Amino acid sequence: MEDFEQIGAEEYAELSGLYVPLAAAVRALAAASLHTRVNPDTVRDATTTISVVTEMLAAEQNGHLLRFQRHEATGRPVVWSNPVVGVRNPLAPPLTVHHEPGGRCWSEFTLGRVYEGPPGLVHGGISAMILDQLLGEVATDQLTTPKYTGTISVKYLRGTPLGPLRAEAFVERSENYKTYARGFISDAQGPTAEAEGVFIMPVWARDGGDKQ
């Protein structure tokens, strides 16, 4: 069972103010390195500088990147390292997920060429990862109830273009320890990919220790 330590609003704001800009800078670096056409000497100089900065940051590391903290005011887990919504993870876009009454959530975001698969289109695995996150968010009541992805099926309706996108998800039904959720990604012309998944409460959470 995963134990969550509490983090207060002041500490969360302090850590966010420190590390969110760092993640954003590394994210921008990844995009710049992908697109750069500077001369070879500049590339070599940049590589040396980046290596030095990496050594600076690696001098002291968390073993688990604060993964299992819960915000004391909201009760929600603080997802620093999640590759979709983790604000400290440079690999994450990151998405901000908005929840609405009735078991629905949505997010509007922009994906650039670091997430490209076919030319001009989002890699299918990235679309699947985003849908898994959104479906999981609604199935777990905003990540407050432990449930893991049992199965997920993604149907690609057409290529998802890079640029502004929207993802939505909703709970279809719940049966005992299973929650069935559906969702989709869309652009300005409509849905590009849709998914349905089953999320299952683990055995250790079925004894009443966590809400169901």
Q: What is the pLDDT of residue 211?
A: 45
Identify which of 174, 95, 166 has the alpha carbon closest to the alpha carbon of residue 141: 174
Residue 28 lies in a domain: yes
Residues 106, 4: Cα–Cα separation, whole Å: 26
Q: Is 12 contained in some domain? A: yes
- Give the residue from 92, 127, 153 where a domain finishes: 92
Domain that holds residue 127: 94-205
Q: Please choose, from the candidates 113, 162, 158, 109, the residue with its C-alpha nearest in 3D space to the C-alpha of residue 134.
A: 109
- DSSP conformation letters of 34-94: HH----HHHHHHHHHHHHHHHHHHHTS--SSTTTTEEETTT--EE-SS-TTT-TT-TT---
Same domain, 105 and 116: yes
Asked whether residue 40 is assigned to any structural domain, the reply reads yes
The CATH code of the domain that includes 201 is 3.10.129.10
145 and 49 inside one domain: no
Q: Please state, in angstroms and rounded to a whole number, the distance separating the CA atoms of residues 78 and 144.
A: 11
Q: Do residues 98 and 197 share a domain?
A: yes
Report the alpha-carbon distance of residue 56 to residue 127 in Å, rounded: 34
Residue at which a domain ends, from 76, 92, 108: 92
Please check whether residue 154 is in contact with residue 195, taking contact to mean a CB–CB distance below 8 angstroms: yes
Report the SS3 class of residue 133.
helix
Q: How far apart are CA 177 and CA 13, in angstroms?
A: 35
Pair (7, 102) in one structural domain: no
CA separation (Å) from 125 to 64, 90, 168, 185, 190?
25, 17, 17, 13, 20
Q: What is the count of structural domains for the chain?
A: 2
> Do 165 and 142 share a domain, yes or no?
yes
Domain-embedded: residue 211 = no
The pLDDT score that the predictor gives to residue 2 is: 55
Q: Does 171 share its domain with 131?
A: yes
The token pair at 104 is 């629905």
The C-alpha atoms of residue 69 and residue 194 are separated, in whole angstroms, by 31
pLDDT of residue 61: 86
**Which of 13, 16, 19, 9 is CA-nearest to residue 71?**
9
Domain match, 127 and 82 both: no
**Are 107 and 200 found together in one domain?**
yes
Q: Where are any strands of DSSP class E within 89-162?
A: 98-100, 104-111, 148-156
Structural domain ending residue among the three candidates 47, 63, 92? 92
Residue 212 maps to a domain: no
- The reply to whether 103 falls in a domain is yes
Classify residue 71: in a domain, yes or no. yes
Q: Each residue's pLDDT tens digit in the chain (212 positions)?
A: 456 788 898 999 999 999 999 999 999 999 999 999 999 999 999 999 999 999 999 999 876 555 568 888 777 888 888 999 999 999 999 999 999 988 899 999 999 999 999 999 999 999 999 999 999 999 998 888 889 999 999 999 999 999 999 999 999 999 999 999 999 999 999 999 999 999 999 998 887 554 43
